[in-house]
């Protein structure tokens, strides 16, 4: 028995050492020797161009989120074709059809490739562009350890791992837990809805036919619902009109999103769901009682945590020459 315990201990120690070794490959300044100018090239490009289209900051954080929730943060969302015959790539899945900013990522990748061919991954570029664009438009800063490698598999069918705007709290908790994220991360990362826009199609049922009732969702403030129907989403068939997720404050990374939740004015059912659980509701109240700097710090922690989801490092995956195609 003692021998078996010793053998088991060696196995556990070996697995732990492997885990630590793999995690260690994702580190700050990973490209310090292999491509020392890489991160500056990214930040300089973002600083120069993001102000021409500041709404892209919200698009990038959404792209990063959608990428990490499917196969980890491996840039699989950028691929133009599927690895599986007869199937579309992630990019073609319903949650990803309104993603923007692919050309911007390609331009950054091209500049980095000119400096250091075959060194910097598209996965790291997404992560860095996301952080830098949020910072450049007045949002929080967070650390971005690098060393991710790019995936070679992309399947639209796997996009079901991305939380839908109509998800309830049970589904949200499950989908986040599947990625190693907890309820606090759920509340904090949802705070990204303080910037950006959505399409009327994402709330059509909530406004016009909630749960097949032919009425608006009773959990949505009636005045807000009436205003949306009168001024924005005037038809349940509207698929083109864009609406603010944080009305009056969509260009500012602030706490107003959480204030709206308590007024029953969260745009999505998934937003409103955060107030239906005592734990998530408590986190919302804590955020509102704290300062904006406190929120920025907590948000930063969750973003860094998300950026580590199932990353490929070492010899796993590849460094794509072009982000839209595998080598």
One domain, residues 182 and 102: no
Q: Residues 48-83: pLDDT tens digits? A: 999 999 999 999 999 999 999 999 999 999 999 877
User: What pLDDT was estimated at residue 23?
Assistant: 44
Task: State which residues form the domain around 271.
Answer: 169-306
The partner residues of 206 in beta bridges, in order of sequence, read none
Q: Which residues are annotated as a binding site for Ca(2+)?
A: 67, 70, 72, 74, 76, 90, 194, 246, 254
Q: Residues 119-176: pLDDT tens digits? A: 999 999 999 999 999 999 999 999 999 999 999 999 999 999 999 999 999 999 999 9
CATH code (residue 46): 1.10.520.10
Note whether residue 255 is domain-resident: yes
Q: Which residues are annotated as a binding site for substrate?
A: 163
Average pLDDT (276-300) is 98
Average pLDDT (284-310) is 97
Question: Residue 29 pLDDT > 90, yes or no?
Answer: yes
One domain, residues 235 and 141: no
One domain, residues 221 and 101: no
Q: Domains in the chain: how many in total?
A: 2
One domain, residues 176 and 299: yes
Domain end marker among 106, 141, 161:
161
Q: How many CB atoms lie within 10 A of CB 264?
A: 18
Catalytic residue among 49, 64, 66, 199: 66
Residue 51 is a catalytic residue: no
Q: DSSP string spanning 67-126?
A: HHTTTSSSSGGG-SS-SSTT---GGGSGGGTT---HHHHHHHHHHHHHHSTTTS-HHHHH
User: What pLDDT was estimated at residue 239?
Assistant: 87
One domain, residues 183 and 56: no
Rounded Cα distance, 75 and 164, in Å: 20
One domain, residues 128 and 55: yes
CATH code (residue 177): 1.10.420.10
Q: Residues 94-135: pLDDT tens digits? A: 999 999 999 999 999 999 999 999 999 999 999 999 999 999
Domain end marker among 161, 194, 224:
161
């Amino acid at each position: 028995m003692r021998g078996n315990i010793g053998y088991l201990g060696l196995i556990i120690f070996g697995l732990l050492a492997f885990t630590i070794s793999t995690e260690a490959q994702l580190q700050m300044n990973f490209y310090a020797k292999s491509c020392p100018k890489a991160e500056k090239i990214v930040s300089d490009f973002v600083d120069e161009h993001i102000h021409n289209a500041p709404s892209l900051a919200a698009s990038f954080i959404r792209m990063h989120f959608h990428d990490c929730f499917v196969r980890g943060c491996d840039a699989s969302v950028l691929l133009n074709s599927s690895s599986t015959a007869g199937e579309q790539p992630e990019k073609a899945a319903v949650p990803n059809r309104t993603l923007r900013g692919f050309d911007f990522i390609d331009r950054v990748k091209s500049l980095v490739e000119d400096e250091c061919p075959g060194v910097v991954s598209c996965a790291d570029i997404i992560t860095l562009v996301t952080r830098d664009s949020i910072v450049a438009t007045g949002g929080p800063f967070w650390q971005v350890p690098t060393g991710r490698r790019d995936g070679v598999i992309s399947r639209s069918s796997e996009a079901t791992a991305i939380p839908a705007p109509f998800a309830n709290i049970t589904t949200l908790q499950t989908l986040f837990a599947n990625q190693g994220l907890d309820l606090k991360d759920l509340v904090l990362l949802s705070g990204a809805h303080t910037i950006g826009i959505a399409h009327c199609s994402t709330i059509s049922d909530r406004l016009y036919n909630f749960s097949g009732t032919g009425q608006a969702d009773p959990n949505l403030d009636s005045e807000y619902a009436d205003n949306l129907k009168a001024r924005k989403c005037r038809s349940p068939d509207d698929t083109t009109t864009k609406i603010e997720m944080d009305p009056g404050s969509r260009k500012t990374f602030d706490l107003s999103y959480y204030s709206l939740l308590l007024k029953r004015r969260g745009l999505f059912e998934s937003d409103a769901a955060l107030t239906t659980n005592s734990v998530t509701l408590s986190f919302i109240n804590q955020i509102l009682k704290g300062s904006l700097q406190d929120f920025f710090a907590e948000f930063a922690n969750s973003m860094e945590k998300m950026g580590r989801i199932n990353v490929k490092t070492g010899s796993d995956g590849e460094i794509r020459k072009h982000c839209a195609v595998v080598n």
